[in-house]
Structure 1
Amino acid sequence: MSPQAFVSPVPLSSLRPSLSTSLTQRRPSATPSRTATRAMMADDRSSIDFGKVDIKGAGENLSGLIFTPESESPLKTRCDVGYTEQQEAAVNRHINVEYTASYAYHAIWAYFDKDTVALPGFAKYFAEQSEEERTHAAEFMKYQNKRGGSVELQPIAVPEMTFTQEDGTSDAVYAMDLHLQLEKFVFHKLRALHKVAQDAGDEQMQDMIDDYLTHQIDAIKTAADYVAQLKRVGTPHGIYHFDLNLQGC
């Protein structure tokens, strides 16, 4: 196709079969659409409201689509589609929750990895739990960036833990019971985060959190089962065999 001069948009109703007429051959037209286009493209260029372009009713369909050029002020994000400050702060709080759980599980791993305890299956299990919680924290950090928020990491506090081995079984039961309480803790914090998304009318964020809530329900059931099983085995030898199962032996 040969190069042609630019022709300003005109109503579809005014188009004729011959579209190759050059700009110099076309008579000046002052149709409403062309006038509106010139006004919208004026030097100030404050905005372009597509809803004002009347092309056989298309303007009505495009109502609400307004383009405003970026200002020279510092840019916070280009991803914002209604992400509130409350949502941003709540996601940062939950990132801290996931890291807190990860930190606690890492401490439990270190305990079972000691030579005086020597339960490698428990150590392996809690190392995996710690890594999983860190992965969740990273996923929420990525989500924060996707929504145009800013990640702000906060101090991490590990819960106080007191392991005892008076009968050779209490440390395992204690650790698994703490695991159950941590999973419940994360579940309740996720529900609080879901409420923030609900209050903001953000269906996408609610759907995203729903997936984590489902995962937490499964994790709570697994931890609860393990607590019950550990209390049933009830002997040092039973803990030893439970540890072998956690090792995958």
Structure 2
Amino acid sequence: MSSAGPAGTDAPAGGPPAAGFLVALEGGDGSGKTTQQRLLAGWLAQRGHEVVATREPGGTATGLALRQVLLAPAPGAALAPRAEALLFAADRAQHVAEVVRPALARGAVVVTDRYVDSSLAYQGAGRALPAAEVEELSRWATGGLVPGLTVVLDVDPATAAGRRGRDAGRPGEDRLEAESLAFHTRVREQFLDLAARAPARYLVLDAARPADAVQHRLREHLAPLLPVPSGPARAVAGRP
């Protein structure tokens, strides 16, 4: 996937370059994305930015319905890999149109918990779907919107599984979290491969380190990339 301007849009179909900045937090389940998003959003608001903290799937009302289908444990027939990829793309298309692009046009910093790379890792590598097809589907769904920075929170899948098991706030593993260690190993390797292909647009962080140390490195890297705040800071947006 190609890198682009300040907001990360590289497709004419998506309209003119946005004034804001898009940060995507990627990584395996249990890598700490939710914690890093919360810490980063608070720091950005303190610096005077409007911050939109969102997620995939489920960043819109439509996405919440799709999230139930995609992640709820399925006692019956398994969801076909291609159907899974299409549903994630549908969630992403609605998310970009309803939440991400309008926020970027206002000059906001959007911090999304998962974006295109999750489809390339989970459906491409995890489900062994053709990578080029998954990438093209995601590009079409987003109108070519590419993050200004993609942060990969890297952690060994076994360590991540242990974290999930210790988290009392989790209701139990969802359908993807419950996949095999081999599945999650393929996912991790794909995230690292994507980052290696475009190092200028990626930041890989050792998510096994303490959360505060990870956040410090993230802020240090992101600070010079951010646009000048467009106005008074606004409250951090919650998720649907």
Q: TM-score, normalised by structure 1?
A: 0.25
Larger relative contact order (C-alpha < 8 A, sep ≥ 6)?
A: 2
The structure number with the bigger radius of gyration is 1
Of Structure 1 and Structure 2, which has the larger fraction of its residues in strand?
Answer: 2
